[in-house]
Amino acid sequence: MARRNKALRVLALTACRVAVGAAFVLSGFVKVADPMGMTHKLHAYTAYLEWGFGDEALPLQVAAVALGVTEFMLGVYVLLGTRRRIATRGTALFMALFTLLTVWIYVADPVPDCGCFGDAVRLTHGETLLKNVVLLAAALYLQYKPLRLRRLVSVRHSWIVSVCSLVYAVGLSLYALHYLPPVEFTPYKIGADVRAALQGIARDADEARLANFYLADMETGEDLTEQVVGDTGYVFVLAVPHVETADDGCNDRLNDLFDACNDWGMSFYMATASDAAGAADWCDRTGAAYRIVMAEDTELQAMVRSNPGLLLLHNGKIAGKWSNNNLPEAERLDAEIARFGQPSLWRGSAWTVLAVWIALLLVVTLADSIWIGQKFYRHHIYVKRFKPNKTMRKKIVAGNWKMNKTLQEGVALAQELNAALQADKPNCDVVICTPFIHLASVAGVIDSSLIGLGAENCADKVSGAYTGEVSAAMVSSTGATHVILGHSERRAYYHETPEILKEKVNLALENNLEVIFCIGEVLEEREAGKQNEVVKAQLEGSLFDLTAEQFAHVVLAYEPVWAIGTGKTATAEQAEEMHAFIRATIADKFGAEAAENVSILYGGSCKPSNAKEIFSKPDVDGGLIGGAALKVADFKGIIDAWKE
């Protein structure tokens, strides 16, 4: 039952994560890929509220870009499981605000289209409200426990996700504003057949919307649509939704282009939604001699996301589009025409444009991984950075009593140690990990401000018919604050696998126990030079699913199993080498701060005679003591190694 409930929770979490993340990425991507389209949507709201903004006002453009970038970043964070608190709180806040906005839209009907997905996906007000209610529920579920979101990107690579996503989103917006959207979400795509749409034989529903294409003579009102669309040659249409807000800085190029069209026998029109007075003003400002016709402003805004923008028709089909910042050169009009309809590097499908972002992430991640793997970099980080900050980490001496001492003997040993430490305060944290039967009794005879209490193991099950097992909750109920997991003896004698240990770690943390997690290699692995590989695999197998916040409650203990009871000796230098490697591995996964703060204990043959030398190493933060912990004098001698 417990496993089924956990599976259902994971399924619900994944469904909410995908729904919220995908919706935000899609919504944000549409806005950053077509910011002018979103600007027009925002203008529709401000016009209804009579706020006095122009249809392409700079504040509306900034708001459109900011909204798109924020949504895109939040969606990426949710999907990849990085910046989880920011992501879940941000998406929940966004959905709460936009759900309220959608209720107002549903009731007041201020605009024909809410614009949440721009022109890419059109929804009715009712569909939008339903969508937002569902996403709000999903966002609130994610926000309830944000750290349950599993990371798909390591902590040390999270900055890459943030920087690359921000650069990509902002860069894409600026490109689309300066030129044209790299992805066309309106029906006015290159290759679309306007003539077919007007004849009612459009190839799809999107193309059928081109039936709204309409041009009329400015003076007589005569319908010129058939004349323009029926032309079998090349026809340029200069789209100027409103001459009052149009950029007239390109008028010389436009006039040169008009002259070139006359030379080549091509038609050239200017279409605007402004009245005759506005058209006359445009002619006075620019010296325009081309014919000016009337059109609907919404269609002009959709034709070309630029004011002015240039549309080229050929035989009734859209052959080319330009913004006012990259108009075709009049002197090379023949060469420009030869390129009409050819695909551009920055114009394509949404998948193509998204692939640029994915490629950027992969390239920067690979470069970062290569750099982090260099020996020089490791030296720079761990000698120059960690060593000065060593005092930030807890110094710990933990005793592991193993299967020793009766209840009465154990209580007496704990009382003796407690008295010794009360008489001579330790300069480090002290923990004793006892057999299960001792825990409750020992908890009552020690000063918890001097000595921490831990168990030597706990079960990988919450509760149930598991004879002889002791759960993490039971351990916690005795007053214990720590638990040893992954000890080499448990791995060897009881065949504890990484998966079993992963369950134990999770349950221990859920019950507020500090985990002392043991790792280390045996003699054969050391002689084969595989110690780094083995230790890294042990960490990855049981701890790398944790969040950085959870990992903060883990203490590591390196056990050179090959040097325990084999007659071989592990030197302080060998211990430091392995501890430095372990810290580097933690940095790769959880980030430099987590690696700097985690305490790594030495779990080899540590005695009063060698403790000071071992503890003096910059990456050794204490010891996990076995046999010496059973004698107060020896254990106190090791504790005192931390005293200067």
Residue 485's SS3 state is strand
Name the least confident of 63-67, 92-96, 134-138, 154-158. 154-158
pLDDT band at 385 (very low <50, low <70, confident <90, very high): very low
Residues 570, 604 contacting (CB under 8 angstroms): yes
Residues 533 and 427 occupy one common structural domain: yes
Neighbours of 222 (CB within 10 A): 11
Residues 383 and 316 occupy one common structural domain: no
Residue 73 lies in a domain: yes
Residues 610, 395 contacting (CB under 8 angstroms): no
Residue 643 lies in a domain: no
Strands 396-400, 291-294: pairing kind: unpaired
Residues 79 and 166 occupy one common structural domain: yes
- Alpha-carbon distance of 381 to 7, in angstroms, equals 40
Residues 457 and 320 occupy one common structural domain: no
Catalytic residue among 56, 521, 559, 596: 559
Identify the domain boundary among 128, 148, 178: 178
Q: Which domain holds residue 108?
A: 12-178
Nearest to 436 by CA among 412, 398, 471: 471
Residues 140 and 253 occupy one common structural domain: no
Identify the domain boundary among 311, 339, 367: 339
Q: Measure the CA angle with vertex 94, ends 355 and 125; round to 5°.
A: 90
- Residue 398, both tokens: 């933990």
Residue 342's SS3 state is coil
Count the domains in the chain: 3
For residue range 338-350, what is the model confidence (pLDDT) as tens digits? Answer: 665 443 434 556 6
What is the percent of the chain with per-residue pLDDT over 90, rounded to a whole number? 70
* Structure confidence at residue 330 (pLDDT): 79
* Structure confidence at residue 332 (pLDDT): 74
- Residue 165, both tokens: 């996503």
Q: What is the DSSP letter of 385?
A: I
Residue 186 lies in a domain: no
Residues 174 and 61 occupy one common structural domain: yes
Q: What is the DSSP letter of 384?
A: I
Higher pLDDT among residues 8 and 596, named by residue: 596
Residues 22 and 168 occupy one common structural domain: yes
- Residue 431, both tokens: 């923990």
- Arithmetic mean of pLDDT, 605-626: 92
Residues 285 and 431 occupy one common structural domain: no
| Residues whose CB falls within 8 Å of the CB of residue 125, separated by 6 or more in sequence, listed in order | 102, 105, 106, 109, 114
Query: Residue 146, CB half-sphere, CA atoms under 13 Å: how many?
Result: 20
The alpha helices in 246-340, defined as continuous H runs, are 251-264, 276-286, 297-303, 333-338
For residue range 248-275, what is the model confidence (pLDDT) as tens digits? Answer: 889 999 999 999 999 888 999 999 999 9
| Residues whose CB falls within 8 Å of the CB of residue 7, separated by 6 or more in sequence, listed in order | none
**Exposure class string for 65-91: b at 16+ Cβ within 10 A, else e:** bebbbbbbbbbbbbbbbbbbeebbebb
Counting every residue written for the chain, the total comes to: 644
Residues 400 and 547 occupy one common structural domain: yes
Residue 26 lies in a domain: yes
Residues 171 and 202 occupy one common structural domain: no
Residues 212 and 149 occupy one common structural domain: no
Higher pLDDT among residues 71 and 265, named by residue: 71
Indicate which CATH number applies to the domain containing 405. Answer: 3.20.20.70
Residue 66 lies in a domain: yes
Residues 465 and 566 occupy one common structural domain: yes
Termini Cα distance of the chain: 54
Identify the domain boundary among 316, 339, 362: 339
Establish whether 456 is a catalytic residue.
Answer: no
Q: Measure the CA angle with vertex 471, ends 470 and 473; round to 5°.
A: 130
- Alpha-carbon distance of 224 to 239, in angstroms, equals 15
Catalytic residue among 487, 496, 521, 596: 487
pLDDT band at 152 (very low <50, low <70, confident <90, very high): confident
Establish whether 559 is a catalytic residue.
Answer: yes
Q: Determine the residue type at 434.
A: T
Neighbours of 506 (CB within 10 A): 17
pLDDT band at 372 (very low <50, low <70, confident <90, very high): very low
The alpha helices in 287-323, defined as continuous H runs, are 297-303
Residue 364 lies in a domain: no
Residue 453 lies in a domain: yes
Residue 350 lies in a domain: no
For residue range 111-131, what is the model confidence (pLDDT) as tens digits? Answer: 988 888 888 888 999 999 999
Which residues on neighbouring strands pair with residue 223, listed in sequence order?
Answer: 216
- Arithmetic mean of pLDDT, 376-383: 46
